[in-house]
A and B are shown apart, each in its own frame.
Chain A
Amino acid sequence: MTDTLTISGLTVELGPPGSPPILDRVSLTVGPGEIVALVGESGSGKSMTAMSLMRLLPPGARMRADAISLGDIDVLHASEHEMNHIRGARISMLFQQPKRMLDPTATVGAQVAEPLRLCLGLSRSQAHARVIELLADVGIAEPERRAHSYAHQLSGGIAQRVMIAMALAGQPDVLIADEPTTALDVTVEVQILQLIAAKRAKLGMSALFVSHDLGVVSSVADRIAVMYAGRIVEEGTTREILHSPQHPYTKALVKCAMLKPEADGSLYTILGDANAARAVSHGCRFRARCLVCTAEHLEQKCESEEPELAGCGRAEHSSRCWATIETRKAR
């Protein structure tokens, strides 16, 4: 059985000191065999969370956390050398643009073989045989020929299958998938999602799915955490998030994902700009775009401070909104 991945109080800052943090005290757990989705708009800090877990943040990024651990491994305090044995072997990652993630001058086979040789210590010929198996296993036709292909000879879907083979090669406990289907055709998207889900179930891995698309993750995730401007604003089981969203932002996201036309025939959109929310130093970061805030006459409260993630009814469901807290109090 795999171990629990725990993130607690993860804060990441980029740029000059004093600039608003990219991630602000993000806490998240992914239980053994669980699929958790991290959902939010572009720039909300989802990918940064993923890169923090891999300890592969861009140069200049400053990371603080109370804890990042996988079972009894302390990922937060691991040395660079120890990280090289954690990446690929315990935690693997899928990326958004698979073709750009492959070295244009190296063959597919050579790259898939790397985790086999590094993590599992296979010999050259053992690794080659295993590469063919892995490629066939992720549904690539003619794996022998494909092993000798280069990135520019692959379609996006095939490239992502190669990346999946590569991510699974080291037999990791946790798979982080950062928008793995965003750059792919819709028809391919479903195939790739099904492939990831099937592999995850077969190997008993847990997974952290990062996506801006609530529709995509709702089909695979057990739990969903919604991020807004570097913070988690709501967390719950997929069912709870989809059927009884509490935070106004989550409600708006769910409404967007339904793709149901409004009364006037237009599609629902969340007004305003998510990037401006980062500069908000106190109070709720969503309040400028929030319709509930004014409707419930909570302006003062929303402006003065942002509530902690608070349970809303069920044990696993929590959100960060004054309106839901007030309503529950009133009951």
Chain B
Amino acid sequence: MIFLLRRFVVLLCTLASVSFLVFLIPYLTPGDPARKILQARTGELNLDPSAVEAARVRYGLDKPVIEQYWNWGQNALHGDLGLSYTSRTQVSDLVGSALAVTTSLAVAALFIALVAALPLGSLAAIRRGKASDIAITTVTQGFVALPEYWVAPMLVLVFALKLGILPSAGWTGPASMILPAVTLSLRPLSYFTQVTRASMVDVLESPHLTAARSRGLSFAQAMLRHGLRNGLLPVVTLFSIWLAGLLGGSVVIEVIFAVPGMGRLLYQAVTDGDVPVIQAGIVCIVALTVLITTLTDLLYALINPTVRSSNVSR
């Protein structure tokens, strides 16, 4: 319970400090924020000074930074993240839909990576040093070196243009998710496989597995009951790091496959100087990252009793 409470306080502190830093972005970059807003909206370079002054008052930019932050924070807590400077739509709608797209893509990619990596890594560990181990290790390590901007067109070429079984781009349903998810899964797949292999090699040599076999468990039973759980611990940690990392979106993949995700949204917002979108986007990503890390810690404690115990040996 104390553990949960402590994590919650950390979550709040992280959010408060990050959101403040993010809020400062327009003031840290050169130029007058009010002027930038008008420029972003009108595309006009020579602005009327009185219009700039009017905008400054309208957006509350004449008030002290702390007060502005306080107002923004209060609104944000009520779900109001302001209007986009460029499209004049609710920022919460923009970020919300982009985040939903990116999250489903990230989860799909990591699911593919995990489903492939766990058996591959375990197999490589069991057949350590044999041909199948070398093949698995070499191929999956090769995935890290494959750039996404090469893999993506190749997949489109084969599956969309040659075979015509999958859509080449867009975000129209589960089928359109497959190619971007596969592209996105290759790197995590590679890392997951390596970590699974390394941790399974340790597990295979662990004495308690021998003890389990000495009481009549077959190799498969011993692995399932006493091997996997121990072997999975490092993979859980790595999985959460990747999930948090992928929530920022991937510009390359989202552009190539025309996926309306966080990567494209933020890239566009930065180019346009659309400060409310940048602020809201980053704060949301940070909040999710901290949330995922917290959940991972809880999950970790659930699988690994040594970190949760309060009554150590007497």
Which A positions have Cβ atoms within 8 angstroms of B?
Answer: 54, 56, 80-81, 84-89, 92-93, 95, 97, 100-106, 111, 114-115, 118-119, 150-155, 163, 166-167, 169-170
Q: Among the listed A88, A89, A101, A152, which residue makes an inter-chain contact with B305, where contact means beta carbons less than 8 Å apart?
A: A152
* Contact status A153-B311, CB under 8 Å: yes
Does any Cβ of A come within 8 Å of B41's Cβ? no
Q: Quick one: closest B residue to A88, CB to CB?
A: B216
User: Do A114 and B217 form a contact, CB below 8 Å, given A101-B211, A105-B230?
Assistant: yes
Across-interface contacts of B218 in A (CB, < 8 A):
80-81, 84
Does any Cβ of A come within 8 Å of B229's Cβ? yes
- B264-290 with Cβ < 8 A to chain A: none
User: Do A100 and B208 form a contact, CB below 8 Å, given A105-B229, A119-B216?
Assistant: yes
Q: A10 to nearest B CB, angstroms?
A: 18
Q: Quick one: closest A residue to B218, CB to CB?
A: A84
Q: A58 to nearest B CB, angstroms?
A: 9
Q: Quick one: closest A residue to B213, CB to CB?
A: A56
* Contact status B217-A105, CB under 8 Å: no
Q: Please, how many residues of chain B have a CB less than 8 angstroms from a CB on the other chain?
A: 27
Does any Cβ of A come within 8 Å of B207's Cβ? yes
Across-interface contacts of A88 in B (CB, < 8 A):
214-217
* Contact status A152-B216, CB under 8 Å: no
Q: Would you give the 0/1 interface string for B22-39, flagging 1 where the beta carbon is closer than 8 Å to chain A?
A: 000000000000000000
With the chains together, A164 CA to B68 CA distance in Å? 69
Q: Among the listed B214, B226, B304, B313, which residue makes an inter-chain contact with A87, where contact means beta carbons less than 8 Å apart?
A: B214
- The dominant DSSP class at the B interface is helix
With the chains together, A169 CA to B217 CA distance in Å? 14
* Contact status A102-B211, CB under 8 Å: yes
- B210-258 with Cβ < 8 A to chain A: 210-219, 221, 225-226, 229-230
Does any Cβ of A come within 8 Å of B46's Cβ? no
Does any Cβ of A come within 8 Å of B6's Cβ? no
User: Do A104 and B306 form a contact, CB below 8 Å, given A97-B207, A153-B313?
Assistant: yes
* Contact status B215-A105, CB under 8 Å: no
Across-interface contacts of B313 in A (CB, < 8 A):
152-155
* Contact status A85-B207, CB under 8 Å: no
Q: Quick one: closest B residue to A115, CB to CB?
A: B215
Across-interface contacts of B304 in A (CB, < 8 A):
104-105
Q: Quick one: closest B residue to A154, CB to CB?
A: B313
Q: Quick one: closest B residue to A87, CB to CB?
A: B216
Across-interface contacts of B221 in A (CB, < 8 A):
118
Q: Would you give the 0/1 interface string for B177-215, flagging 1 where the beta carbon is closer than 8 Å to chain A?
A: 000000000000000000000000000001110111111
Across-interface contacts of B225 in A (CB, < 8 A):
103, 106, 114
With the chains together, A114 CA to B213 CA distance in Å? 11
Instruction: Identify 30 residue pairs between A and B in the complex whose beta-carbon atoms are under 8 Å apart, listed by A's number.
Output: A56-B214, A80-B218, A81-B218, A84-B217, A84-B218, A85-B216, A87-B213, A87-B215, A89-B216, A92-B215, A95-B211, A100-B206, A101-B207, A102-B208, A102-B211, A105-B226, A105-B230, A105-B303, A105-B305, A106-B225, A106-B229, A111-B212, A111-B215, A114-B217, A115-B215, A119-B216, A152-B309, A153-B309, A153-B313, A163-B211
Across-interface contacts of A80 in B (CB, < 8 A):
218-219
Across-interface contacts of B211 in A (CB, < 8 A):
93, 95, 101-102, 163
* Contact status B230-A115, CB under 8 Å: no
* Contact status B306-A152, CB under 8 Å: yes
Across-interface contacts of A103 in B (CB, < 8 A):
208, 212, 225-226, 229-230
With the chains together, A284 CA to B101 CA distance in Å? 76
With the chains together, A54 CA to B216 CA distance in Å? 10
With the chains together, A80 CA to B213 CA distance in Å? 11
With the chains together, A116 CA to B312 CA distance in Å? 28
Does any Cβ of A come within 8 Å of B314's Cβ? yes
* Contact status B306-A150, CB under 8 Å: yes
Apart from A105-B304, A114-B217, A166-B215, what 6 extra A-B contacts exist at CB < 8 Å?
Answer: A56-B210, A87-B214, A93-B214, A101-B211, A103-B226, A105-B229
* The 10 residue pairs across chains A and B that have the minimum distance between CB atoms: A88-B216, A101-B211, A88-B215, A103-B226, A93-B214, A150-B305, A115-B215, A100-B207, A87-B216, A103-B208
Q: Quick one: closest B residue to A176, CB to CB?
A: B214
Q: A111 to nearest B CB, angstroms?
A: 8
Q: B131 to nearest A CB, angstroms?
A: 16
With the chains together, A155 CA to B314 CA distance in Å? 7
